[in-house]
Structure 1
Amino acid sequence: MQVAKVHFIAKRDKRDILGMPLLGFLFKNRYMLLFYRLLTLFLLLYAIIYGFVNPTKENVFTTAVFWSLFWPFFMVISLPTLGNVFCMVCPHGFLGKHLTRIGLKLRPPKWLANPYIGLIGSNILAYWFVLYTFPSFLRSPLNTALFFTFFTLLSALLFLLFRGMAYCKYVCPIGSVNSAFSRTSFTWLSTYQEECKTCKKPDCALACPYELNPSKFDSRNSMFNCTLCMECAHACDAVKLEAKPWGSSLYKEIKQPKMIEVMVYILLTAVITFTMRFHHGLSRSGISDFMPWVVVGKYLQSMFNLPKWIDMTGLVAMLMALLLVLSVVYLSFKMVAVVSKRSLKDSLLVLGYAFAPLMIVGGLSHVLEFFFTEYYHNIMNGFSQAFGLGIHVEALAKRGEAWLHIFKVFPFIAGLWSLQILWRRSALLAEQRRVLVFAVASSLPGLYLMLSIFALWVMVSFPSVHTHGAH
């Protein structure tokens, strides 16, 4: 597509990344983007094929690519910093843009046009439920290859059938998750509004494979479903990618708030952050036998005589975390609705965005620690195995080393940041009763901080007597 002729090219904002020679090249240049996408596509296909050819546990490459590289780096580390860069280079999205062009371009039916399919079905049930209940399942190279083969074939089918990148929007396990959590990043895509005033046809919107209009992102304070594919920037030079204060959009009014974003924050805070604290934290402490999910899990395991490869403790921990978080949110926001004289839905849509840091920033603690103890040597040794590099490295640190405790600060940063955002957003809901609204709505981040303090106290007072894998 032709680049729109605009006269301001030499006068880009100082914070516009696309105007910075090196960063602009890395984020916008067609050939660099093609290189990233071909690289991730190659890794996806090679890791899948390698998993089928070498299905035994001696294959460390397949699991390293998906669980030590793609998941922790692109999801947990890049989202709160660079934004939705994984979707920018995602091999499924890359293939999808080409398959959609030759496909049937049907409008997705109403039952499919539902992002909760991806969040609850593909993410929570297909991944987290399996991870907690059958912990060894996805550690298998063969099962990992089958898992990603399924989603690769499913994405190809949906891209061929439907328009608007329907798979990414509604079915992808991380589609709505990435869009929601990219709000905590330093980057923001938008357009130069002065140039848009004289625009007779929105080339940026016409070029977007996701059928979005970047010129509306600022006024709506939302980039939901934007994957930073940069097709809009290639179609019109009035598109900019700004470096903004961390999570700046979370402090402002959102014109068209999405309940799916709020539910991403709430559900994944329960399924990931709280469940990890329960099952991979307190369950490995010296007082694990007193934890309710351990007691109930062991009872169910014994009562039904279940094999060891089924982990009822993990399943019960996830269900208890979901019940706890959803109950706290529901009860506290019912009270917020009464205090603010707004509906429960309105209260959640205004204040729920404050919960964004609880999972994505809190999760950094786990991922960064595991980079030193597990991920680094898994990645290096996996690539050495797959490409015959002949090298072997050890972990950068051993579990339990004192300096690793520095990463325990991240949950407290997450909780305090959540409270700060909540205080700012409380004025948007009920300025005259702001203090009372804040006090009631802070139940979830308050509980999160208390759990973090309790887990830290248990770790110090009752040292771990168990070890566990880093999957």
Structure 2
Amino acid sequence: MGLQKLHFIPKRNRTDIFNIPVLSFLFKNRYMLLSYRLFTTFLLFYAIAYGIMNPTKENIFTTAVFWSLFWPFFMVVSLPTLGNVFCMVCPHGFLGKYITKLGLKLRPPNWLANPYIGLIGSNVLAYWFVLYTFPGFFRQPLNTALFFLFFTVLSFIFFFLFNGMSYCKYICPIGSVNTAFSRVSPVWLSTYQEECKTCKKPDCALACPYKLNPSKFEERKSMMNCTMCMECAHACDAVKLEFKKWGYSLYEKIKQPKMIEVMVYLILVAVITFTMRFHHGLSRSGLGEYMPWTVGGKYIQQTFNLPKWIDVSGLLAMLLSLFLVFGIIYLTFGRIAKVLQTNVSGALLLLGYAFAPLMIVGGLSHVLEFFFIEYYHHIVNGFSQAFGLGVFVEPLAKRGEAWLHVFRIFPFIAGFWSLHILWKRVSVLNTPRRGYVFALASILPVFYLALSLFTLLAMLIFPPSHHHH
């Protein structure tokens, strides 16, 4: 017997998505949600099978699905606009709920219940380290298929063994990433508190496969681990999905801040944004041969006679980025901690949420530009190849066209937005030295802005002398 709806909302807020019939149908209707999940599940397994059966570079479908569709649009574009909708339609989570019901329902051991396994092990090491050091690896359809097959099998094992959707919380490469960056979005899940006051049986919490209580999200200013699966909304009409201002919770005092969220912002701004600026930006300008990671990479490559398919320069750029970001944080937040009479962790939990826009909003620049020069025709031609549609399209734009520079505005939006959030968070601190604290904490976003500007100018003033891939 299913959970009964015990609450009925006489009038929803105007900002409640469930109050708008079309949006309610798209975000809450069980059959629509099921259709999304069946579609993404089909794509996952078909792309994996297609990659295994067609392992050569002539197969453009497998890489198009995972690197031109799933990552850019279900991640980078959707997170700052719609929130964590990728987890809402994720095939692993969709199938995992059914596997868990049939499984052993064990409690994961403490050493395994650690979200840093997914962030550092599954994300940084398994993907970004490989991408920068062995850049040709994921261009191979077979390698891409096996990569996703591995995580699919791993997820099924975890869902069968452990309860509470442990794979999503601790092992998934983007689990902690999505929940952290979804704070940038204006979409917020919570409940009507006046209804919850009389609720003796929290159906929303009982329905949640992740063991969360949506009625506490607003109070805590946190939707940690929420995948927007909408099981809570199906169990109780007091649940609402609301439009708020962008980055709503980033301005508020978070009742139970999580260091994993702040680490997501810092690690990925280093591994993705800074490394991309170094290796895929400055290295491709006319100044590229003078960059330290390029000089060091060539020296190591020649000294140890390493094969060309190992990109030492890419690895050095990533390591330098991590060193710079965490060096800045260590120096600045060490001083801030003394002013606030706390430790570095405490200072980061107070102010570190301001760094959320740097990677995810700044990343829109790359994604939107590449939609026109790469993603669009890869997706269309890939699907045409896999399903025999007989369609072939050219890229919408060529690399280097002047109008594409319009997308370069997003890193600057991200940097100044980060500074604005930081100022708001600093302004409520109980210290007369707010200006000093703000100046120190703003060094990272200011460096981010300066690096973005320098990279842009380098590409414009010192264009590459030959074409790069």
Q: TM-score, normalised by structure 1?
A: 0.98
For the pair 1:314 / 2:311, whether they are aligned, the reply is no
> Is residue 2:19 matched to residue 1:6?
no
C-alpha distance in 2 between matches for 1:24 and 1:466: 51
Q: Distance in 2 between matches of 1:430 and 1:407?
A: 39
Matched ranges for 1:255-270 at <5 A: 255-270=255-270
* Offset of residue 265 of structure 1: 0.1
- Which residue of structure 1 lines up, in the alignment, with residue 193 of structure 2? 193
Structure 2 residue aligned with 1:244: 244
SS state at 1:362 partner: coil
Q: Could you tell me how far 1:289 is from its partner in structure 2?
A: 1.1
Matches of residues 78-157 of structure 1 in structure 2 within 5 Å? 78-157=78-157
Quote the Cα distance in structure 2 between the aligned partners of 1:182 and 1:430. 28
CA deviation profile, 1:85-127 (whole Å, cap 9, x unmatched): 0000000000100000010000110011000000000000000
After TM superposition, the score normalised by the length of structure 2 is 0.99
Pairing 1:13-412 to 2, within 5 Å after superposition = 13-412=13-412
Q: Hey, what's the Cα distance between the residues in 1 that align with 2:227 and 2:32?
A: 16
Tell me the distance in 1 between the aligned counterparts of 2:340 and 2:436: 9
Q: Which runs of 5+ in 1 are unaligned?
A: none
For residues 412-431 of structure 1, what are the structure 2 equivalents within 5 Å?
A: 412-431=412-431
Question: Alignment partner of 1:241: what SS?
Answer: strand
Provide Cα deviations, 1:386-430, integer angstroms capped at 9, x if missing partner.
000001000000000000000111110000000000001113434
Equivalent residue of 1:242, what SS? strand
Deviation at 1:431, TM superposition (A): 4.2
Cα distance in structure 2, aligned partners of 1:3 and 1:17: 22
Asked if structure 1 preserves the Cα contact closer than 8 Å seen for 2:422 and 2:438, the reply is yes
Kept in 1: contact 2:196–2:215 (CA 8 A): yes
Q: Is the 8 A contact 1:48 1:148 kept in 2?
A: yes
4+ aligned runs moved over 6 Å, structure 1: none
Inter-partner Cα distance in structure 2 for 1:299 and 1:21? 62
Q: Distance in 2 between matches of 1:160 and 1:429?
A: 46
- State the one-letter code of the partner of 2:65: V
| C-alpha distance in structure 2 between counterparts of 1:250 and 1:71, whole Å | 24
CA–CA separation in structure 2 for the residues paired with 1:378 and 1:344 = 45
Aligned equivalents of 1:430, 1:275: Cα separation in 2: 36
What letter is aligned with 2:181?
F
Contact 2:84 2:182 in 1 (8 A): yes
* Residues 268 and 204 of structure 1, relative CA distance in 2, 3 Å threshold: same
Distance 1:141-1:427 versus aligned 2 partners, 3 A rule: same
Aligned-pair identity (%) = 72
Mapped partners of 2:428, 2:210: distance in 1: 30
Do 2:8 and 2:237's aligned partners in 1 also have CA atoms closer than 8 Å? no
Q: CA deviation at 1:344?
A: 1.2
Closer, same or farther in 2 for the Cα pair 1:14/1:192, shift >3 Å?
same
Instruction: Find the aligned partners of 2:27 and 2:317 in 1 and give their Cα distance.
Output: 41
Cα deviation for residue 173 of structure 1 reads 0.2
Query: CA contact under 8 A between 2:184 and 2:246: conserved in structure 1?
Result: yes
Count of aligned residue pairs for this structure pair? 468
3-state SS of 1:127 partner: helix
Alpha-carbon distance in structure 2 between the residues aligned to 1:235 and 1:463 = 57
Q: Which amino acid aligns with 1:272?
A: I
SS in 2 for 1:281: helix
8 Å CA contact 1:253, 1:428 repeated in 2 = no
Whole-Å separation in 1 of the counterparts to 2:279 and 2:389: 37
**What is the alpha-carbon root mean square deviation over aligned residues?**
0.8
Say if 2:79 and 2:185, in contact at 8 Å, map to a contact too: yes
The answer to whether the Cα contact below 8 Å between 2:59 and 2:141 also exists between their aligned partners in 1 is yes
The DSSP-based 3-state class of the residue aligned with 1:389 is coil
- Is the 2:186–2:247 Cα contact (8 Å) retained in structure 1? yes
Residue 456 of structure 1 and its aligned partner are, at CA, apart by: 1.5
Cα deviation digits, residues 432-461 of structure 1 (max 9, x gap):
221111001111001101101111221121
